[in-house]
Amino acid sequence: MAAMALEAHVHTEDSGPVLELVGDVDGRAEEALGDAYTEAGEANAVMLDFHGVSYMNSTGIALIVGLLARARTNGQALSVRGLTPHYREIFEITRLSDFMTIVDEEEGSA
């Protein structure tokens, strides 16, 4: 579980753009996350794929909150998939899950 700066790749599926996150969602992820979100554009729905994420901390949560705020402004729906049970719990207790859909496994993919 070595620390690894986040890489975010954008690809498009039937449901819309998917931000594939690989690495750590922490303070160092701000730029990668912001850039990828910008790249995803003005689609109605944006998916965050957490399959490649093994670590997230409170600064990372703040970044997701930031994305949510942007999505709200843009009138976009934000979803997340690939959460481990632990990070799913964190999405729930922070109530992030009240504002974005947590997709169970691969049902949202093409």
Partner 1 sequence: MTALAQTWRKVTRRGGAAQTTEASEEVAVTISTVEAPSVEIAPNDPLVAYLQSSGGAVDVESLELESPGVTALREAGVALVVPLISGGELVGTLNLGPRLSDQQYSTDDKRLLDGLAAQAAPALQVAELVQKQAAEARSRERIEQELKVATLIQQNFLPRVLPDLPGWEVAAYYQPAREVGGDFYDLFELPDGQVAVIIGDVTDKGVPAAMVMAAARSLLRASGQRVVSPGEVLERVNDLLCPDIPEKMFVTCLYLVVDPSTGHVRYANAGHNLPYARTADGSMELRAKGMPLGLLPGMKYEEHEAMMSPGDGLLLYSDGVTEAHGAEREMFGTPRLVEHVADPASGDLIDGLLTQLQRFTGADWEQEDDITLVTLCRTLASGVQNGLVTGIDVRFTLPSETGNEREAMQRVLDAIEPLGLEARRVERLGTAVSEAAMNAIEHGNQGRAEIPVEVEVITTGGELIVRIRDVGDGPQATDVESPDIEAKLAGLQKPRGWGLFLIKNMVDEIRVIDADGRHTVELVLQLEGGDGDGSNGA
Residues within the interface to partner 1 (CB under 8 A)? 1, 3, 27, 55, 57-59, 61-63, 65-66, 68-69, 72, 84-86, 89-90, 92-96, 98-99
To partner 1, the closest distance from the beta carbon of 99 in angstroms equals 7
To partner 1, the closest distance from the beta carbon of 49 in angstroms equals 20
DSSP string for residues in 10-58 = EEEETTEEEEEEEEEESGGGHHHHHHHHHHHTT-SEEEEEEEEEEEE-H
Nearest Cα residue to 57 out of 87, 96, 93, 35: 87
To partner 1, the closest distance from the beta carbon of 14 in angstroms equals 28
Report the residue number, 7 or 89, with the smaller CB distance to partner 1: 89
The DSSP 8-state label assigned to residue 7 in this structure reads E
Report the residue number, 3 or 13, with the smaller CB distance to partner 1: 3
Q: Is 93 exposed, middle or buried (0-12, 13-18, 19+ CB in 10 A)?
A: exposed
Report the residue number, 11 or 72, with the smaller CB distance to partner 1: 72
Report the residue number, 42 or 85, with the smaller CB distance to partner 1: 85
The DSSP 8-state label assigned to residue 1 in this structure reads -
To partner 1, the closest distance from the beta carbon of 21 in angstroms equals 17
